[in-house]
């Protein structure tokens, strides 16, 4: 099987320090400190309402934290715009896929390539050689990703015709088309039928083992987290209650208690 090429630009750690987000009186994130090392896949787990999606919102510029800081290498990313996060190759998927409903699968995947456009609007209108070259490169990249994500037969279908699981695949394809340096997945396998889920997991495992991408994977299925993420972080009611090697973290009493409601001796 062909491995997707993910050219990435550098090895930088994303450091979150004393990060807080409050909504009125509710602390959705409370003094969270964590370090996301380059090319490592990080599980982010915790019960409903723990603050997982809120953390991804902060790590993509959708939310400005009320306290703390985020640094990408030496660069202070705290409160930067979504565009600045995207330009640095930090890209996210959504718990509910956000796609252009009236457009085709292919057009939606091509949106992921937007950040690579080097030619201006004039060159596009006049179809100058630079634009044509960019477009061919982007089309080829999207075709390859679409094939790998089993979307080859539905490229011309509008999104509104697709099942929920296939929409998820399109969103993941768009994210991969943007060649992320850091990818943030919010429950990518939720709502998929078992066959599709199985395929998705093997695709993600293939990308993970290529070792060229940092990821944060929010997922309730701990077996999936075990398979894809060597390290994990556990949130509970906005607080980071554990982090470390995934197997060890999942065995901790406070994690079992928070996540599964199980209390071991
Ligand atoms: N925009 C908002 N305004 C007010 N409260 C919010 C907002 N977004 C999230 N919250 C609250 O913050 C807390 C954390 O929510 P978040 O969506 O981050 O949880 P989660 O861990 O992703 O949960 P789930 O597993 O259900 O997706 C919850 O109590 C939620 O109700
Ligand atoms: Mg969530």
Which ligand is closest in space to the CA of residue 259? 1
User: Which among 178, 201, 231 is the end of a domain?
Assistant: 178
Asked if residues 196 and 169 have their Cβ atoms less than 8 Å apart, the reply is yes
Domain match, 71 and 188 both: yes
Phi/psi at 92 (5° precision):
-125, 155
Q: Which of 53, 222, 238 to mutate to test the pocket of ligand 1 (most atoms within 8 A of CB)?
A: 53
- Mark out the alpha helices in 113-245 (DSSP H runs): 121-126, 129-148, 164-177, 194-210, 222-228
Quote the crossing angle between the two packed helices 194-210 and 164-177, to the nearest 10°: 10
Tell me, yes or no, whether 94 lies in a domain. Answer: no
- Domain CATH number, residue 80: 3.40.50.300
Q: 75-79, 93-97, 126-130: which range is least confident on average?
A: 126-130
50 pocket-lining for ligand 1 (C-beta < 6 Å): yes
Residue 123's domain comprises 101-178
Report the pLDDT value the prediction gives residue 9, as an integer from 0 to 100.
43
Tell me, yes or no, whether 114 lies in a domain. Answer: yes
Please give the DSSP secondary-structure letter assigned to residue 158. B
Tell me, yes or no, whether 60 lies in a domain. Answer: yes
Q: Whose CA is nearest to atom 19 of ligand 1?
A: 49
25 pocket-lining for ligand 1 (C-beta < 6 Å): no
Q: 6-15, 28-37, 39-48, 176-185: which range is least confident on average?
A: 6-15
Which ligand is closest in space to the CA of residue 235? 1
Domain match, 212 and 224 both: yes
Domain count, the chain: 2
Which ligand is closest in space to the CA of residue 233? 1
Tell me, yes or no, whether 210 lies in a domain. Answer: yes
Domain match, 138 and 36 both: no
Q: Whose CA is nearest to atom 17 of ligand 1?
A: 53
Question: Can you tell me whether residue 92 is helix, strand or coil?
Answer: strand
The string of pLDDT tens digits covering residues 217-231 is 999 999 999 999 999
Please give the DSSP secondary-structure letter assigned to residue 104. B
């Amino acid at each position: 099987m062909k491995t997707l090429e993910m050219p990435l630009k550098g090895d930088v750690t994303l450091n979150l320090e004393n990060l807080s987000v409050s909504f009125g009186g509710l602390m959705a994130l409370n003094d969270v400190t964590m370090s996301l090392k380059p090319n490592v896949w990080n599980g982010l787990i915790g019960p409903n309402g723990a603050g997982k999606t809120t953390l991804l919102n902060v790590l993509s510029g959708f939310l400005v934290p009320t306290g703390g800081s985020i640094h990408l290498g030496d660069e202070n990313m705290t409160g930067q715009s979504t565009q600045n996060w995207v330009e640095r190759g930090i890209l996210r998927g959504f718990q509910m896929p956000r796609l252009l409903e009236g457009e085709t699968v292919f057009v939606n995947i091509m949106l992921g390539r937007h950040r690579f456009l080097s030619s201006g609007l004039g060159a596009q209108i006049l179809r100058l050689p630079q634009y044509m070259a960019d477009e061919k490169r982007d089309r080829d990249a999207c075709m390859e990703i679409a094939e790998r994500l089993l979307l080859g037969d539905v490229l011309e279908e509008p999104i509104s015709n697709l099942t929920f699981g296939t929409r998820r695949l399109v969103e993941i394809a768009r994210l991969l088309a943007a060649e992320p340096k850091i990818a943030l997945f919010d429950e990518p396998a939720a709502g998929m039928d078992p066959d599709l889920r199985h395929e998705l997991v093997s695709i993600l495992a293939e990308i993970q083992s290529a070792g060229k991408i940092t990821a944060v994977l929010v997922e309730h299925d701990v077996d999936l987290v075990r398979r894809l993420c060597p390290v994990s972080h556990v949130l509970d009611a906005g607080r980071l209650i554990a982090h470390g090697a995934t197997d060890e973290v999942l065995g901790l009493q406070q994690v079992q208690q928070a996540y599964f409601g199980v209390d071991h001796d």
